């Protein structure tokens, strides 16, 4: 492409100033702002302005022109940063891109690279997944900056995970709206008519503001929508001109940052709450099942209060840390039997209520059946009933419940607990206490059984997942620890054997089961934990590691302390089993099931990859007796504020 024919935005502004000077006295800067906002003029007089600024731009610019305006000390991006600071973003994660160069520069210079601080990412999927993990540890969203085109495409998988996991991500995407102002070549490939279209099925709201006042309103609206349950990602598309061009006096006079008032989360209808309380108090075998229930630390306490009032068993499905693992009413390991025996099942923000009360056999013929007794009452409280979309099918099969509250479970729990307490008679209280004693005994028995099972293959090599889990636990339990991710499936050992009490001690999974979430989400959550002085720990799957390993460089670069212990079974193990299932179903044996599913020949040297990114790393470790000293060395590194990775070769599950 000839440089002579290249007309960039600055050149165009300069030439437009020359052209328009005769018609519009206020000056080039104003015109530039009007045109590049994509409206052709001020909102009050669009037609006039379009006419006034319509002249064809020259294809070449005379650099000797004395009337040009070539700098500005107040670009639109600065105001955008003012707005972001009002929203109190700590960080903005991004892989740099020219479509948002304006706001990028405003963040690091005008904004002082603080609140938000620019976090350099090597992939947009990493940026979004970091924001995903950060939210679950911190309880507030992280912003993400990406190209509206190629960046959104990279980010899409992670956005889908966040959507399925009901996590708000505040996404800002660059774009170049005015086709007549685009640089030839790449800027066209990086421009799009409707940037949100690709992800609109799995975000909650989007907008493409055409002025700075419009941006300010939409920024507040986006935050409010994202943070109202059910929480989900939102997207604002930022025109390049809006970011880069000077703020005109006319626009300056209209600039203000609207007040943000967060919506209170929706509570269950009082009649439905009373009906649910009646069912729960009168039940002989009630079961409480929680998935994404505890949005905040208060959610954990509220669930404890309800469970203790009823002396009812709690099954924690792990979408969040809902219930202390060592609480005697925690009966997660006995979920199926408890549900089969239940006469009332209370589901709190369940991903899959139908699957919770049913079983499916993945055979040549797929069959399913309910596991609950006839007449069992099902009560659902979920904010998802307020916002279900149609295209992506993460909403699961239709559950035939008896009471359905379209409400946030955490917000509804206090009213439900109080309603239950009002109905509990002395006689019932005695019966509940008896039930509680039985459940406490069952809890203790389950813990002892889990410990006995963990002893099997204790000294095996590859190392058993139980051994790995307990070697890690042995050294972190004295710390203020946070299990930020668990991307390899580990037979639930951490659930069964670790003592979890605090909301940040388990952050749940990806949501959409999109592999590649674990490493970046762990780094993002560790970034949130850093200022709290928590020791962040992740159990890192090998397949997950390989999706976008550049996030380890981000962890090293930004000095994010994180202890990563790998569950390296050298396979996409879930897929090994799926192919094995198909091969046997087709009666062909499974000797070729490794093809396309294993990660060996050669084995990946994960420690070397991490070291190459500046991360302290050890391994591969195959002898279980080498684990303890390796973990101790890694913890020293983490405690001085840096990431450390241990590659451990493990049993499949």
Partner 1 sequence: MRVSIVVAMTIALAAVAGVGAQTTPSQPSAAAPSGNADEGKKLFLSYGCYQCHGREAQGSNATGPRLGPKPIAFTAFNRYVRRPTGQMPPYTVKVVSDADVAHIYAYVQSRSTPPAAQSIPLLREP
Q: Which residues bind partner 1 (CB under 8 A)?
A: 291, 317-319, 333, 336, 350-352, 355, 359-363, 448, 451-458, 460, 462, 464-465, 470-471, 473-474, 486, 489-492, 495, 497, 499, 508-509, 513, 573-574, 576-577, 580-581, 583-585, 587-591, 593, 651-653
Give me the least distance between CB of 601 and partner 1, in Å please.
Answer: 15
- Do 459 and 483 touch, CB atoms closer than 8 A? no
Tokens of 383: 């904010």
- The token pair that represents 104 in the structure block: 């990028």
Closest CA to 320 of 277, 345, 289, 346: 289
Nearer CB in complex with partner 1: 121/476: 476
- Enclosing H/E stretch for 547: none
For partner 1, the closer of residues 94 and 332 by Cβ is: 332
Half-sphere exposure for 263 (CA within 13 Å, toward CB): 16
Report the distance separating Cα 214 and Cα 301, nearest Å.
40
Q: How far is the CB of 94 from partner 1 (least distance, A)?
A: 30
Are the beta carbons of 524 and 133 closer than 8 angstroms? yes
Minimum CB distance to partner 1, residue 580 (Å): 5
Give the list of residues 6+ apart from residue 489 with CB closer than 8 angstroms, or none: 541, 573, 574, 653
| Angle between helical axes of 518-530 and 124-138 (0-180°, round to 10) | 50
CB of 315 to partner 1, least distance (A): 11
Helices of type H across 548-648: 551-557, 573-585, 606-612, 627-639
Closer by beta carbon to partner 1, 425 or else 587: 587
Q: Least distance to partner 1 from the beta carbon of 318, Å?
A: 3
Could you tell me the CA-to-CA distances from 510 to 507, 544, 578, 589 in Å, in that order?
9, 11, 20, 33
| Nearest distance in Å: CB 211, partner 1 | 43
Bridge partners for 359 per DSSP: 369
**180 vs 456 by CB, closer to partner 1:** 456
Comparison of 361 and 422: residue with beta carbon closer to partner 1: 361
Q: How far is the CB of 464 from partner 1 (least distance, A)?
A: 7
- How many Å apart are CA 647 and CA 626, to the nearest integer? 11
CB 148 within 8 A of CB 174: yes
CB of 551 to partner 1, least distance (A): 22
Nearer to partner 1, 311 or 464 (CB): 464
- Residues contacting residue 297 through CB under 8 Å, at least 6 positions apart: 502, 503
Residues whose CB falls within 8 Å of the CB of residue 390, separated by 6 or more in sequence, listed in order: none
Q: Which is nearer to partner 1, 39 or 396 (CB)?
A: 396
Comparing CB distances to partner 1, the nearer of 340 and 406 is: 340
Nearer to partner 1, 371 or 431 (CB): 371
C-alpha to C-alpha distances, 568 to 466, 468, 469, 537, 605, nearest whole angstrom: 14, 11, 13, 16, 10
Closest approach of Cβ 465 to partner 1, in Å?
A: 8
Rounded Cα distance between 576 and 569, Å, is: 11
We find the least distance from the C-beta atom of residue 325 to partner 1, in angstroms, to be: 12
User: Of the two residues 286 and 512, which places its CB atom closer to partner 1 in the complex?
Assistant: 512
**Angle subtended by helix axes 627-639 and 465-476, to nearest 10:** 40
Pairing of strands 366-370, 358-362: antiparallel
């Amino acid at each position: 492409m000839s440089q002579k024919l290249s007309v960039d935005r600055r050149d165009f502004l300069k030439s437009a100033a020359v052209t328009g000077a005769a018609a519009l006295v206020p000056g080039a800067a104003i015109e530039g702002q009007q045109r590049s906002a994509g409206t052709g003029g001020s909102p009050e007089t669009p037609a006039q302005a379009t006419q006034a600024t319509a002249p064809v731009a020259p294809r070449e610019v005379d650099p000797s022109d004395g009337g040009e305006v070539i700098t500005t000390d107040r670009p639109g991006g600065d105001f955008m940063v003012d707005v972001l600071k009002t929203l109190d973003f700590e960080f903005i994660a991004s892989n740099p891109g020219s479509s948002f160069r304006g706001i990028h520069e405003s963040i690091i210079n005008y904004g002082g690279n603080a609140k938000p601080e620019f976090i350099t990412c090597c992939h947009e999927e990493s940026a979004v997944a970091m924001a995903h993990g950060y939210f679950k540890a911190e309880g507030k969203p992280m912003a993400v900056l990406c190209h509206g085109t190629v960046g959104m495409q990279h980010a899409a998988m992670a956005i889908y995970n966040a959507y399925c996991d009901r996590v708000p991500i505040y996404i800002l995407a660059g774009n170049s709206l005015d086709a007549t102002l685009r640089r030839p070549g790449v800027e066209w490939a990086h421009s799009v008519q409707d940037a949100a279209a690709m992800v609109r099925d799995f975000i909650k709201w989007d907008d493409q503001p055409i002025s700075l006042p419009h941006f300010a309103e939409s920024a507040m609206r986006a935050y409010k929508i994202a943070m109202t349950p059910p929480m989900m990602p939102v997207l604002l598309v930022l025109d390049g001109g809006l970011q880069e061009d000077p703020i005109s006096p006319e626009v300056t006079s209209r600039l203000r940052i609207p007040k943000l008032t967060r919506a209170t989360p929706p509570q269950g209808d009082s009649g439905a709450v009373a009906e649910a309380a009646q069912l729960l108090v009168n039940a002989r075998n009630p079961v409480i099942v929680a998935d994404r229930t505890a949005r905040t630390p208060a959610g954990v306490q509220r669930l404890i209060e309800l469970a203790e009032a009823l002396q009812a068993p709690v099954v924690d499905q792990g979408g969040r840390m809902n219930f202390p693992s060592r609480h005697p009413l925690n009966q997660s390991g006995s979920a199926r039997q408890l549900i089969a025996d239940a006469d009332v099942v209370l589901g709190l923000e369940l991903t899959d209520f139908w699957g919770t009360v049913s079983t499916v056999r993945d055979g040549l013929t797929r069959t399913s059946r309910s596991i609950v007794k006839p007449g069992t009452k099902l009560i659902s409280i979920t904010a998802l009933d307020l916002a279900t979309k149609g295209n992506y099918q993460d909403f699961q099969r239709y559950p035939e419940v008896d009471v359905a509250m379209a409400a946030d479970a955490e917000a509804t729990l206090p009213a439900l607990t109080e309603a239950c307490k009002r109905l509990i008679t002395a006689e019932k209280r005695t019966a509940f206490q008896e039930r509680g004693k039985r459940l406490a005994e069952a809890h203790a028995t389950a813990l002892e059984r889990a410990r006995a099972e963990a002893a099997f293959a204790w000294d095996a090599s590859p190392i058993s997942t139980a051994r790995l889990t307990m070697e890690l636990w042995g050294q972190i339990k004295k710390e203020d620890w946070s299990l930020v991710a668990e991307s390899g499936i580990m037979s639930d050992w951490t659930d069964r054997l670790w003592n979890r009490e605090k909301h940040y001690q388990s952050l749940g999974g990806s949501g959409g089961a999109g592999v590649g979430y674990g490493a970046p989400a762990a780094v993002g959550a560790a970034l949130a934990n850093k200022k709290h002085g928590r020791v962040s720990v992740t159990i890192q799957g090998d397949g997950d590691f390989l999706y976008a390993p550049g996030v380890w460089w981000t962890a090293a670069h930004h000095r994010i302390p994180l202890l990563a212990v790998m569950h390296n079974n050298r396979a996409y193990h879930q897929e090994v089993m799926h192919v094995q299932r198909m091969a046997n179903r087709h009666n062909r044996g499974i000797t070729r099931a490794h093809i396309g599913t294993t990660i060996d020949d050669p084995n990946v040297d994960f420690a070397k990859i991490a070291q190459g990114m500046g991360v302290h790393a050890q391994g591969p470790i195959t002898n279980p007796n080498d684990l303890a000293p390796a973990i101790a060395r890694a913890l020293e590194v983490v405690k001085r504020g840096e990431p450390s990775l241990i590659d451990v070769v493990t049993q499949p599950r």
